[in-house]
Amino acid sequence: MRQIYTLLTLILLISCLTSSCRKICCVDNRIKTEVVAEGELKRGSRVFLSPYMVSGANDIHDLNIFVFNDFGVLERSHYINRGSPDYDKDLEKDIEFNLLYGVTYSIYAMANLGYEVRVGSLEEMKQYEFPISYPGEMIAGMPLAGRLEKVLTNEDAVYVKIPLERLFARVDLSFDRSNLDKDVDMRIASAKIVYSPKMILVFGDSKPERSEQFFLAGHIFTEDGIWKLNNKTVRDPLEIYILENMGMNNGYRPYLELYIEYLSDSLQTPTNEYLIYRAYLKDDGYIRRNCVYPLTICPQGNGLGATPDTPTWAIDASALKQRNRQ
C-alpha cells in the first residue's frame, strides 16, 4: 500500500459572530459568519503547518490538531503553544503526518484552550468537555474548535476547509432610558447573569443538566464593568460572554438581573436597596456558541410598569419607598 505525506496549511480568518438580536418587544435577526481554517491535503514529501501567518494571528495562542482514521483511532496529533521556546520555529519548520493513501480520515482542531489536550480515540474527542473556573474565563484568548469528517486521501491533492467556531456566545447588553419620564433617574449599581455554564461539550450540542455544571451565584458585574450602561454618551454595549446551553429542560435557563438605584419625584430606593429588573437572555432560552445576542432593556414611563407580555418576576419594585421631601 502506498503511503503519502499530508500538507496541512491552516489559515485562521477571525470574523464576527453569528447574530441573534433580541430587544424587548423586538424580533430575532440572524446573520451567519464563521471562523475558518483552510488547508490542503497533498501527496508529497512533507507536512507544512502554518496557522499564524495571516491577519488575526495575535488571536491564536495555542492549537491542538488531531487526525483520526476511519476506525476512530488517533493516527497523529500536534500541539503548538505561543508560550513555548520553540514557538517561532513552529512557524517555520515542517511537521510530518505520515498518512496512508486511499484511507478516510477525520481532522479535529481546538485553539486557545490554554493547554495540550490528550485523547486516544475519536470517541474520546467527541466526549471532550472544556471547563472554565469562573464565568467568561479566557486564559488564552477566545477558545475555538472545528472539525472535518471523512477526508479521503485518494488524490494527489485534496483541498481542505475547516470551519472553526467560538465556544462562547456573547450578550451585548444595553440600557435605553429614552422613554423614561423626565423626573425618573435610574442608575445601574450591578448586573449579573444567573445560571452561566461551567463547561461546554466541544464537539456537539452542549446540554448541562446538573447544578454543579453552572455558576449558581451568577456572572456579576459591578461599577468597573457596567460603567457603559450608566454613561449616556457611550453607545457601546456591555459585552458578556457565556458558554453554550442547548438543554432548556434542565431548569437552569440563564437570565439577566439588573440592580438599579431609582429616583423620581415621588419614589426612591433606600441606600443599598435596589429596583430589580430580570430578563431571559433569549426568548426560546437556547444559548448557542458562536452567536451574539444584543439585548436592550428599555423601560418606559416611570420604569415600574409591565406590559402584558412581561413575566411577573421581571420587575421587583418592593424596595421602593415614598420620597421624603424636606
Domain coordinates in residue numbering, the chain: 3-18+32-166, 168-322
Query: Which residues have C-beta within 8 Å of that of residue 78, sequence separation ≥ 6?
Result: 49, 64, 65, 95, 97
Distance CA 22, CA 173 (A): 10
Cβ(129)–Cβ(199) under 8 Å?
A: yes
CATH code for 3-18+32-166?
A: 2.60.40
Nine-digit cell string for 169 = 456566545
10-residue mean pLDDT series, the chain (326 residues)? 46 44 32 38 34 42 87 88 63 57 84 91 96 83 86 64 82 87 92 90 91 81 79 80 81 88 92 91 81 86 72 82 76
pLDDT of residue 249: 64
Q: How many CB atoms lie within 10 A of CB 101?
A: 14
pLDDT of residue 27: 27
pLDDT of residue 325: 63
pLDDT of residue 197: 92
Among candidates 294, 277, 281, 295, which has minimal Cα distance to 253?
Answer: 281
- Judge whether 3-18+32-166 and 168-322 match in fold: yes
pTM: 0.78
Query: Which H/E stretch holds residue 166?
Result: strand 157-166
Distance CA 51, CA 37 (A): 8
pLDDT of residue 58: 45
pLDDT of residue 102: 78
Which top CATH class is 168-322? mainly beta
pLDDT of residue 287: 87
Residue-wise DSSP of 96-131: --EEETT-EEEEEEEES-SS----SBHHHHHT-EEE
Place of cell 452542549: 206
> DSSP assignment, residue 290?
T
pLDDT of residue 185: 93
Angle at 7 between CA 290 and CA 64, to 5 degrees: 40
